[in-house]
A = this chain, B = another copy of it.
C-alpha cells in the first residue's frame, strides 16, 4: 500500500507538502497542489488513519454503547446516531452490552483504548467502574435514554412519565382495575421512572399496586415470559400488564400463546417503545412511542459539542401514547 513518502516522491515534493494539501491547508502553490493530487490518485493513496490519529491525538470516532442490539429501539437509535455522526464527519463504533455490566465495561475500555473522541452511552444496570473512570478521565461523554446517578454528564432522553400516566388513565377507562407492570433491571433509570410513574398514577386512580404485580424483568424477552408465568400463578392474576419495553412485551405474548391464552381477553397488554410490527400484531399493540431518531440526533449534537470544546446541556423530549387494541379498546365493537 502506498504511503505518504511514495506520494511525495512521485510529486517531487516533501511529505510535509503532501500532508498540507491533504489537510486542505492554504498556502500551497496551485501547481504543486495539483501535482500532489495527481500523485495521490495515481497511486490510489489513502492516508493511514491510525498514524494520523496517533499524531493528532484525535480519531474522529465516537463510541456508542447500547444496551441490546436485538432491541429495535436501540437499533433505531444506533441508526440515527450513525447518520448524525457521519454528517458531522465522525465515524461511530457500536458496542453491544447485551444488558450485561461486564460486557458493557469491556466495551468502554476497548473503546477508550482506541482513543475514541467521545462516548455515547445507554448504561446497563449496576455500578460501572469503567464508566466512572471514563467520566473522571474527562473524555467527552453523554448519556442517551438511560443514565447513571452521580455521573455528571449531559443526558439526552425522553421523559415517559406523562405518557405512562396517560396509559394508566386509558387502562382505567377501559375498565381494568388490576394493573401490573414488568420492570427493567432494578437500577436502570428508565425502568425506575416508568415504575414510579405507574405507581403514582395508580394511586391517583385509587388503585393498589401489590408487590406481586410488580414483575422483576431485565428488558429482555425471556424475562417477560417468566414474569407472565408468575402472574398466572397468582390467585388473582392481573387484568392488564404494562411491559416497560418491547422485548418483554414479546415475552408476554410468547407465554400467553404457550398457554393458549389471548390478548386482551385473558390479559391486556401495553408496551413501552413503539415498533414497526406492533400495528400488525394480533391484536395491534398499544404502546408508548419515543422520538427515537431525534434522541439520536440530539445526543450526537451534544456529544460533538463537547468533543469540539463547546458546552452541552441535557435535553428532555417527551413520549406519547398510541392506543391500539391490545388493551381491549375494541371491546364494544367485538361484542
Contacts and interface: CB of A to CB of B under 8 A. Distances in A.
A329 interface: no
User: For chain A, which range describes its interface: under 10, 10 to 19, 20 to 34, or 35 or more residues?
Assistant: 35 or more
Contacts of A53: 50
Interface in A66-85: 69-70, 72, 75-76, 78-79, 82
A78 B68 CA distance: 12
A51 B113 CA distance: 10
Looking at chain A's contact residues, the main secondary structure is helix
A47 B276 CA distance: 43
A241 B243 CA distance: 34
Contacts of A221: 276
A280 B51 contact: no
Contacts of A282: 280-284
A115 interface: yes
A192 interface: no
A70 to B, nearest CB: 6
10 interchain residue pairs of minimum CB distance:
A282-B282, A49-B113, A277-B277, A253-B280, A49-B114, A50-B53, A50-B54, A280-B281, A69-B79, A50-B115
21 contacts: A46-B109, A48-B115, A49-B110, A49-B113, A49-B114, A50-B50, A50-B59, A50-B114, A51-B54, A70-B72, A70-B76, A72-B72, A75-B75, A82-B96, A86-B106, A250-B276, A254-B280, A257-B279, A280-B282, A282-B283, A282-B284
Given A46-B109, A50-B50, A277-B281, 17 more contacts: A1-B137, A46-B113, A48-B54, A49-B110, A49-B113, A50-B54, A50-B115, A69-B78, A69-B82, A70-B75, A79-B96, A91-B110, A93-B93, A93-B94, A254-B280, A257-B279, A282-B282
